[in-house]
Amino acid sequence: MALAAVADAAPAGLVYRVHADPLTHRFIVDLHIPATDAQEQILAMPVWVPGSYTRRDLARHIVEIHAADDAGALSLRKIDDHRWILHPRGMPLRVHYTVYALDLSVRTAYLDERLGFFNGPALFLRVHGHEQGEHRLELSGPDAWQVATAMPRVGGSDCSWGSFAAADHRRFCNHPVLMGALSFVHFAAAGLPHRLVLAGHEQANLPALGRDLATLCTWQQEFWGSSPFPEYHFLCMGSENGYGGLEHERSSALLCARDDLTEADRAGWERFLGLASHEYFHSWWVQAFHPAALRESVGEEAVLTRDLWVFEGITSYYDDLALRRSGLLSVEAYLEGLGRNITTLTMRPGQGLQNLWESSEDAWIKLYHPHPNSANFEVSYYNKGALLALCLDLLLRDRGENYSLDAFLQHLWHETGGEGAALPEGEFLPRLAAWAGPDVAATVDAWLAARGPLPLSERLASVGLELRLRRPSNPSDKGGKPAEPPLRCWLGAQWHSHAQGVELGWVATGGAAEKAGLCPGDRIVALDRCACSAETLQGRLDAMAPGLPRTLHYFRDGRLWETSLVPQEPPTDRAFLHWRAEVDPETRRRRARWLGLDPDQAADSPVSGG
């Protein structure tokens, strides 16, 4: 299936000539700037990437940079950590620079002998004063490589090196590029051409990927009722165990483990589909209908917003729900995953210290900078935001068949014309109040401000599900389903193997480890004077009843310490959902509509805990 192309056109505005040099892991860039009468010209590299709210200081990857015009070299002076200034002489300018690219992620740039990738902000200097003009990319590299991007092509054949163009700087930076020995899967959704492009996934099950992505994308197109794009590209890199995604205009950049695309591991396959679902949903709910506070940013300074939960939390709610409703995820698997997501929140003492608004505002300094104590002090606007969206959806469904979070999002999309519409900061709740009533908005407002749990038990009961909590059955238990038998003793910490014993990660507030004076990074070497490892520690803890003092030896900063440890009973914080078969007809219908089930069959669905 051919994707749309633009006829060859003469260069206009800025031209970025980029050459990929895999052996040196460098992208070599020659930037051509039209002549200007300005006395000075400022060039800037972003310090953060849209969709990823933390400073990345992308200028640090520039290896060399210099400027010239037809009369010779020009002085290029750095004026801060990401900007340069030069003084034009009324002639066209040429800026030559190279970018070191060895970060295998969806946010920056990577280049080696097998594949290359770049996100625009990691490669393209912003030329002050030229942002609104056309930006052109002329791309070259190894002869045998292919190229994939959603940026409109203006020269060269499909999948080849060539020329691409965007109307302005923002759009130019919103089309990532994947290159290398590529595999392609073409499929249609709602009559629109789609393309999955893979690099580094030699064993991927291409026909099954095309089948399942077509199902998923068709469901989302029908959910919204219209499309903000004429075509779409999933650009996916493979690695040993990577994971991540970032939404863009008409495309998304994805990174996943190679084994996730073989379908041999169903959990990995569903994890990839959930990632694709999340980024595809963002085409409507971020790329088209977007947060006003963030759209105009050029990535040169942090933009604080309390509304990240609106866009990321709601999208996180729908990513797996779209798989369930489209038939790609069983009811059992969906509810098990929901139980794990609830467990992620119930295990975090941080929900008592940070609310969702604060989580959004603190993204720049906290969410993207995790440390072993993060769970004690923070919540994620992805995780808790998704669970708040669940509560809101089920609250609305209590009001009748015409009410749901689906209906509200569709109302916003069609009322505002969808594509290009902005949601002003703090406007989500007033619009919810106007549509569903001030009582609903006031309830959500209270949930957002609360430093504590959400009313998940009450809301899930409205669709015939019972939220149950149990003790962990092993140290890495993530919840989601019943498990027996539970642990006998709880250390109050997470740990992993180390050459010198057992290294502690997260140490829970109020847990036995904290009370014994332990902290992240300590290495336990003996319990009750017997050596222990990551594999034997839990067994040694469980050998005696909780509440009995134990002697523990550990290393910190190269010194051996001894402390008295009093193991506790494990907390009751692993969540799973029990399916209630005996419910009234209205509850059964509401549950069926929510999960995308036939109401006549919804009572007997085999689910976790049922």
Q: Residue 72: which CATH number?
A: 2.60.40.3650
Cβ count near 307 (within 10 Å)? 24
Residue 158 · residue 171 · CB < 8 Å: no
Q: Please indicate, yes or no, if residue 270 is contained in any of the structural domains.
A: no
Q: Among 180, 210, 242, give the residue marking a domain's end.
A: 180
Query: Is residue 245 included in any domain, yes or no?
Result: no
Give the mean pLDDT of 299-305.
Answer: 86
How much of the chain exceeds pLDDT 70, in percent? 96
For residues 450 and 519, membership in a common domain is answered with no
Give me the number of domains the chain comprises: 3
* Residues 459, 518 within the same domain: no
**Tens of pLDDT along 230-255?**
999 999 999 998 999 999 999 999 99
The Cβ-side half-sphere exposure at 519, using a 13 Å CA radius, reads 5
Q: Clarify whether residues 438 and 518 are in a common domain.
A: no
Per-residue pLDDT tens digits for 102-149: 999 999 999 999 999 999 999 999 999 999 999 999 999 999 999 999
Asked if pLDDT for residue 55 goes beyond 70, the answer is yes
Q: Which residue has the tokens 């020659």?
A: 30
Does 418 have pLDDT greater than 70?
Answer: no
pTM: 0.95
Q: Rounded distance, CA 204 to CA 141, Å?
A: 25
Give yes or no for residue 419 having a pLDDT over 80: no
CA atoms of 371 and 552, how far apart (whole Å): 24
Statement to judge: residues 36 and 99 lie in one domain? yes
412 and 535 share a domain?
no
- pLDDT range class, residue 417, cuts 50, 70, 90: confident
User: Is residue 451 domain-resident?
Assistant: yes
| Residue 281 confidence (pLDDT) above 90 | yes
How does residue 312 score in pLDDT terms, banded at 50, 70 and 90? very high
Contacts of 396 (CB under 8 A, 6+ apart): 403, 404, 405, 407, 408, 436, 440
pLDDT one-digit tens code per residue, 146-172:
999 999 999 999 999 999 999 999 999
Instruction: Check pLDDT > 50 for residue 606.
Output: yes
Residue 608 has pLDDT above 90, yes or no: no
**Are residues 386 and 352 part of one domain?**
yes
Q: What pLDDT is stored for residue 602 in this prediction? A: 57
Same domain, 426 and 557: no
Mean pLDDT of the 82-99 span: 97
> Which of 6-20, 201-215, 243-257, 407-421 is predicted least confidently?
6-20
Name the DSSP class of 568: B
Domain assignment present for 220: no
Domain assignment present for 231: no
Query: What's the pLDDT band for 302 if we cut at 50, 70, 90?
Result: confident
Parent domain of 35: 14-180
- Cα separation values, 72 from 38, 93, 125, Å: 18, 10, 21
Same domain, 552 and 598: no
CATH code, 433? 1.10.390.10
Is 398 inside any structural domain? Answer: yes
Question: 40 and 152: one domain?
Answer: yes
Write the CATH number for 539: 2.30.42.10
449 and 497 part of one domain? no
Lowest mean pLDDT: which of 2-16, 22-36, 260-274, 563-577? 2-16
Give the tokens for residue 372: 């072993």
- For residues 59 and 140, state if they share a domain: yes
The tens digit of pLDDT for each residue in 348-388 reads: 999 999 999 999 999 999 999 999 999 999 999 999 999 99
- 36 and 170 share one domain: yes
Where residue 121 falls (left for φ over 0; alpha for ψ -120 to 50; beta otherwise) is alpha
Three-state SS string across 401-447, please? CCCCHHHHHHHHHHHCCCCCCEECCCCHHHHHHHHHCHHHHHHHHHH
Domain final residue, candidates 180, 214, 237 = 180
Q: Pick the last residue of a domain from 148, 180, 212.
A: 180
